[in-house]
Homo-oligomer: A and B are copies of this chain.
Amino acid sequence: MIKVGIVGGTGYTGVELLRILSAHPDVELTAITSRGDSGTPVADMFPSLRGIVDLAFTSPDESDLQKCDVVFFATPHGIAMSHARDLLAADVRIIDLAADFRLKDTAEFEKWYSMPHACPDILKEAVYGLVEVNREAIRKARVIGLPGCYPTSVQLGFAPLLSQGKPLVNESMLIADCKSGVSGAGRKAAVGSLFSESADNFHAYGVKGHRHLPEIVQGLKAITGNTREIGLTFVPHLTPMIRGIHSTLYATLNPESSDIDIQALYENHYRNDPFVDVLPAGSHPETRSVRASNYLRIAVHRPGNANTLVILVVEDNLVKGAAGQGVQCMNLMFGLDETTGLRQVPVLP
């Protein structure tokens, strides 16, 4: 059994980790920390876990995190990097759901997250946990920087186009028009996330610049083998639903690629990825078709057979966009089948 610790178990990615890991056949939940709720039984805060998770929250300082095999950080940015050195020294692997190990350029990190990086050396060895792109590196990783929810959908949506030897599309003018459910903003009290503010309402935010933009650009560039520059316009929107991200991606085919079979390209690219589902031509994936599951579905369109491609991508932001992808990484790191404990059937309706 893999001994698992969770730091910061009171947010949405924390409780989602608990939902998944409590049913994982090879995992023993060992410690769940929360500075503010130390001593509270987990099931008192989340009655959905009554009879399922018997642990209480413990203070991160007193927890035996060093006895774990792996620790998930479902914390605000900046926490994981402050624990990383000690845990690695104790031979504990780390999966960070926040941004501490995502951006390879520490200057970029400091610019977007307004804090210095605590351990640039560990950042250097950290692996970006986007399984379908980095599977082999993840198997051997000690530290995982898990992709953000938007970046997962945008990168997997563009990857088949960008991973070819030469550019199929105009890579300097990509557009990602993304729509997220409100749980993406987390469980912290904030006026903008109130029901009465976000229900029956829709708006964009962060058009000027969003923290996920440099992460996506870094990832897309990596998908080209770091051989080409990427220009991306990224517009996130808040949608009145709890879970789900729908990314609508636009790219312009280069003239020399105009007779490519895009549907076949995508199907072929993901033929061995158990959680990525390329839908039949003409489909419109719904976010609910992946609700509460680790699947991500993609549909490819070329309206009017013109040069603008439209790629539709859906995922559950809390699963494939966070906790589920973390468990997928953990499975690989510990030599398990990638899908172990992750075959929950999507909940529809």
Contacts and interface: CB of A to CB of B under 8 A. Distances in A.
A: interface residue count bin: 35 or more
A199 to B, nearest CB: 6
Contacts of A287: 201-203
Given A237-B179, A248-B235, A303 B187 contact: no
B48 A346 contact: yes
Contact of A191 (B189, B243, B286): B189
B241 A201 contact: yes
B289 A48 contact: yes
A152 B242 CA distance: 28
Contact of A202 (B185, B196, B207, B244): B244
A345 B175 contact: no
A104 B301 CA distance: 28
A89 interface: no
Given A177-B248, A233-B303, A51 B207 contact: no
A286 B203 contact: yes
Contacts of A60: none
Interface string A169-207: 000010101010111010111110111111111111101
A89 B203 CA distance: 46
A12 B196 contact: yes
Contact of A312 (B207, B243, B292, B312): B207
A15 interface: yes
Contact of A284 (B205, B248, B301, B306): B205
A179 B202 contact: yes
Contacts of A194: 182, 187, 189-190, 193-195
A48 B291 CA distance: 8
Given A194-B194, A297-B47, A345-B52, A288 B205 contact: no
A252 interface: yes
A57 interface: no
A330 to B, nearest CB: 18
Contacts of A198: 195
A239 B242 contact: no
Given A207-B301, A284-B207, A19 B240 contact: no
Interface of A: 12, 15, 19, 22-23, 46-52, 173, 175, 177, 179, 181-183, 185, 187-191, 193-205, 207-209, 231, 233-235, 237, 239-244, 246, 248, 250, 252, 277, 279, 282-293, 297, 301, 303-304, 306, 308, 310, 312, 314, 318, 343-349
Given A46-B348, A182-B196, A239-B239, 18 more contacts: A19-B348, A47-B283, A49-B346, A51-B277, A52-B345, A182-B195, A187-B349, A189-B189, A195-B198, A199-B242, A200-B200, A202-B239, A202-B287, A204-B246, A208-B301, A209-B304, A231-B306, A292-B292
